[in-house]
A and B are shown apart, each in its own frame.
Chain A
Amino acid sequence: MEHYWQEISALTMRWVRRLSREKFSMLFTLVQPMLFWLIFFGNLFQRAADTQVMQAPNYISFLAAGVVIMTVLNNGLAGGVDLLFDKENGFLERLMSTPIHRTSVILSRFIFVMAITSMQVLVILGVSYLFGVHPATGILGVATTLLIGMMFGVGLTAISMAMAFSVKSHGDFFSVLGFLSLPMIFLSSALVPLTAMPGWMSFLAQFNPMTWAIDAVRPLILSGWAEALPHVGMVILVMLVFDALCLYGGAKAFRRAMG
């Protein structure tokens, strides 16, 4: 157990060190794009969006929940990228030829991606706050939002890692990634509520786990506990199933690649 911890903390430290050496990429590729959504998209549609349809005081407060979960989506789906590079340049083999527990590398990646995602979610909520979006459920609501984000993120990161272990080249990886991320966003309640979507889109969107996550985070921000709790309860169940499936698939891909 002590060994396990030593391995995981050393491997996690490696991800932190890497990020700290890439200050520009840290700033520009991780924090910024989501803020663009919030600031530009949110303000752009401020008047175009019907607050009656949104069930929110203004569009940006409606969008905040969507941007939070989009952050989780993007980080999660990209979570396996570094392992992909490790696989391609032989670093992963070097790690796996040491007497570490087979899950240490993966676990360190989960910890790192979750930590970064949490920080970014807090940044998003902070910036939203500056635009007048004050979470109705307070600090506890923010904590619940993080919990939901983490539960969604674990599954996504598992998918990403499974892909990293399975693809032949990193070109394939990024193609699939680019292909997945936008439909996931459009076919969810991130930008408009399901009720405002064309029938076929709202039909597909209700199978998107992202929709469930957003529908739980949104009342946490907009309404209050009374409305949020049933959604929160539901999303936890949905995410447990989602994570179980993703982790199972990820474990299978990992075993195939490593043995």
Chain B
Amino acid sequence: MDRTIAINVNHLCKTYDSHKAVDDLSFSVYAGEIFGLLGPNGAGKSTTLRTLITLLHPTSGTATIMGHDTVRDADTVRTLIGYVPQERAIDRFLTGREHLQLLGALYHLTTDEATKRINELLKLVDLEDHADRPAKTYSGGMKRKLDIACGLLPNPKILFLDEPTLGLDVQSRLRIWEYVRMLKARGMTVVMTTNYLDEADQLCDRLAIIDGGKIKTLGSPVELKIALGGDIVSLTLKELDRIPSLETELKGRPAIKSVRTTTKGLDIRVESPEKALPAILEAANRLGCSIEFIQYNRPRLDDVFIAHTGRAITESIPETESA
């Protein structure tokens, strides 16, 4: 499949004093996809993001946005991107509308253009009724919506979201996810960092798991889970003596990766349950094995994360752990 590349990161390194925040990162983001940088705090996600939005200069390596270098063509890059920072980057004394008007001027829009776009955006994020109140009266979710409206004001080709739902309640979170999906539907490329596994799983077309400044693995959530060894179908058989014959029958079949005998039945690793389950049931039926119990476990992104970083995402990074 030949897809347009929106972002290209090439051997990117960023060193602070002697600490390597980002260590030889290379990846591409395709136009129109939602790309996630997933990792624990301090993994290098934000450093990577800040480099892409021209706020940091790489120590070595390069990053290009739609073919423009983030250092040499920084100004061109800035016209192509929208940014939603991690912190609630809100001026509490300004109203929602004033935030957008300020940004309108910074993106050099004419007053008419800005007014039109601001009204559209306020409608989009459902802040019309609160647009003329100072932001200090906003709830966390409303601030986040304003943040996103600010990021969308330049009508960017690529939107960067830094931890978009950090600290939000469940409803606001789902709302933000909705927006992100809608933006993708409109053809926008979205790059987001997150340390929520479910967020990455639900939202991202592809994601890179970053830890210690390096990419541990990269792919779509489904690919990553499959790469882990696939889903597991556990069978419990009524007649235990039939287990060996069923094992022989299933081994080597397409869609079945491995079969392992357990005390009461079989653990079958499958590539995709959609193909494997009918085959398993058909084989059991043909051999006259009656199945007492069948259980199917889909590996979660948590399992992928643990497999590649050696720990759960909620655990702190080793340096702080030993401290």
Contact = CB atoms under 8 A, between A and B. Distances in A.
Interface in A26-76: none
Interface in B281-321: none
A165 to B, nearest CB: 13
A149 B237 CA distance: 91
B57 A259 contact: yes
Contact of A90 (B86, B102, B108, B134): B86
Given A10-B105, A98-B154, A99-B108, A17 B98 contact: yes
A57 B151 CA distance: 61
A96 B108 contact: no
Nearest to B162: A90
B150 A21 contact: no
A11 B93 contact: no
B157 to A, nearest CB: 13
Contact of B102 (A10, A22, A93, A99): A10
Chain B residues touching A, range? 20 to 34
* Main DSSP-derived SS at the B contact region: loop
Nearest to A14: B102
B197 interface: no
Given A11-B102, A14-B94, A94-B150, A259 B56 contact: yes
Interface string B51-81: 0011111000000000000000001001101
Nearest to B89: A90
B105 A6 contact: yes
A97 B79 contact: no
SS of A interface (majority): helix
A99 B83 CA distance: 12
Contacts of A94: 83, 85, 89, 103, 150
Given A6-B105, A97-B78, A99-B78, A18 B91 contact: yes
Contact of A97 (B53, B86, B93): B53
A88 B92 CA distance: 14
Nearest to A20: B93
B255 interface: no
A95 B103 CA distance: 8
B83 to A, nearest CB: 4
B106 A98 contact: yes
A63 B55 CA distance: 47
Most chain A beta-carbon contacts within 10 A, residue among B57, B81, B87: B87
Nearest to B80: A99
A89 B150 contact: no
B106 A258 contact: no
B27 interface: no
Given A21-B134, A100-B106, A259-B56, A93 B83 contact: yes
A97 B105 contact: no
Interface in A1-19: 3, 6-7, 9-11, 13-14, 17-18
Contacts of B93: 17-18, 21-22
Contacts of A129: none
A91 B106 CA distance: 13
B94 A7 contact: no
Nearest to B82: A97
A6 B108 contact: yes
B216 interface: no
A98 B55 contact: no
B55 A97 contact: yes
B179 interface: no
B88 A98 contact: no
Given A3-B108, A90-B86, A93-B85, A14 B55 contact: no
A6 B93 CA distance: 21
A93 B89 CA distance: 8
A258 B54 CA distance: 9
A93 B55 CA distance: 7
Contact of B91 (A91, A93, A98, A104): A91
B90 interface: yes
Given A89-B87, A90-B89, A99 B107 contact: yes
Interface string A73-94: 0000000000000001111011
Interface string B207-240: 0000000000000000000000000000000000
Nearest to B77: A99
A88 B89 CA distance: 9
Given A10-B102, A18-B94, A98 B89 contact: no
Contacts of B102: 10-11, 13-14
Interface of B: 50, 53-57, 75, 78-79, 81, 83, 85-91, 93-94, 98, 101-103, 105-108, 134, 150, 154
Given A7-B108, A90-B87, A99-B79, 6 more contacts: A9-B105, A93-B55, A98-B103, A98-B154, A99-B107, A259-B57
20 contacts: A7-B108, A10-B102, A10-B105, A11-B106, A14-B98, A17-B98, A21-B93, A89-B88, A89-B90, A90-B89, A93-B89, A94-B85, A96-B55, A97-B53, A97-B78, A97-B83, A98-B106, A99-B78, A99-B107, A100-B106
Closest 5 CB pairs of A and B: A10-B105, A90-B89, A90-B87, A99-B78, A90-B85
